[in-house]
Amino acid sequence: MKKELIFLGPPACGKGTQTNKLSEYLGFPHIDTGSLLRAEIAKKTEDGKIAKSFIDKGQLVPVDLVGRIIGKRLSENDCQRGYVLDGYPRSLEQAEILEKINSDLDEEKADFKAIYFDIDTQILIDRIVNRQSCPKCGEIYNKKFKPSKIENICDKCNVELKTRADDTEEVAKARFDTYYRETAPLVEFYENKNVLYKINANGSIDEVWQRLLDIINK
């Protein structure tokens, strides 16, 4: 049976790491909206040109345009057995568009799951405010959870690690407030359809991975 997997979760919850891993494990494409939009813009497709016109003005790309780009991607051959969709939907309107896309594409009943990465906000704030990255190789560290061997120095490149200017507790709390406010209706939407699965996202990558596999194999 075709597996249609979408993922919900606040910033820094770890779903990006897990969805990439899951995509490789299942042999399904990993699709995220940001990368998809950038690809359309880079290829200079008609939809890409329209999306760029909004982005260049600092405006949100219209919901129907994003839906059209998502629908086109999900219709491709590599999505026949299933897909791992990250970062979409982000609103009830987008959830309804995705339902219509799946309904149009699916020839038979599919296994649809909305997986919500549930984690305490304070843990996420600790992850963000302690986050560091290497400006050369891009390796991510965390002063509290995954420190470099030499303080503030990349293990691989031996260069000084950087911290993003907006990785502050104040900014992080504002991001989470916005996320939970916008996502709460979406969680309820999928709960009412009995397709929402909550996963405890607090733990090591391997621990969360095992919990994810338990859900996928249900």
Q: Is residue 49 part of a domain?
A: no
Q: Is residue 138 part of a domain?
A: no
Of 49, 81, 156, 164, the catalytic one is: 164
Amino acid (1-letter code) at residue 132: Q
Q: Is residue 17 part of a domain?
A: yes
pLDDT at 208: 94
Structural domains counted in the chain: 1
pLDDT at 24: 94
Q: Does the annotation mark 15 as catalytic?
A: yes
When pLDDT is averaged across residues 157-184 and rounded to a whole number, the result is 87
Give per-residue pLDDT as tens, 195-205: 999 999 998 88
Does the pLDDT at position 34 exceed 90?
no
Q: How confident is the model at residue 14 (pLDDT cuts 50, 70, 90)?
A: confident
H or E element in which residue 199 lies: strand 196-200
Task: Pick the closest to residue 128 from 3, 6, 11, 9 (CA basis).
Answer: 11
- The sheet that has 3-8: what strands, in order across it? 30-32, 82-86, 3-8, 111-118, 196-200
When pLDDT is averaged across residues 12-28 and rounded to a whole number, the result is 91
Query: Tokens in use for 168?
Result: 């502050």
Give per-residue pLDDT as tens, 115-127: 999 998 888 898 8
> Please, what is the average pLDDT of the chain?
91
Q: Is residue 45 part of a domain?
A: no
Q: How confident is the model at residue 128 (pLDDT cuts 50, 70, 90)?
A: confident
Q: Does the annotation mark 73 as catalytic?
A: no
Of 3, 38, 52, 90, the catalytic one is: 90
pLDDT at 102: 96
Q: Is residue 98 part of a domain?
A: yes
Q: Is residue 58 part of a domain?
A: no
What is the percentage of the chain residues whose pLDDT exceeds 90?
62
pLDDT at 45: 93
Q: Is residue 81 part of a domain?
A: yes
Does the pLDDT at position 76 exceed 90?
yes
Contacts of 154 (CB under 8 A, 6+ apart): 134, 136, 137, 139, 141, 148, 160, 161
When pLDDT is averaged across residues 169-174 and rounded to a whole number, the result is 87
When pLDDT is averaged across residues 154-176 and rounded to a whole number, the result is 89
Greater confidence (184 vs 200) lies with: 200
Q: Does the annotation mark 81 as catalytic?
A: no
Strands (E) in 58-192, as ranges, are 82-86, 111-118, 131-133, 140-142
Instruction: Give the C-alpha separation, 197 to 30, whole Å.
Output: 19
Of 15, 73, 127, 211, the catalytic one is: 15
Full domain range(s) for residue 114: 3-29+76-120+172-216
Does the pLDDT at position 87 exceed 90?
no
Q: Does the annotation mark 164 as catalytic?
A: yes
Q: Is residue 13 part of a domain?
A: yes
Task: Give the CATH number of the domain where residue 16 resides.
Answer: 3.40.50.300
Which residue is associated with the tokens 């709460």? 184
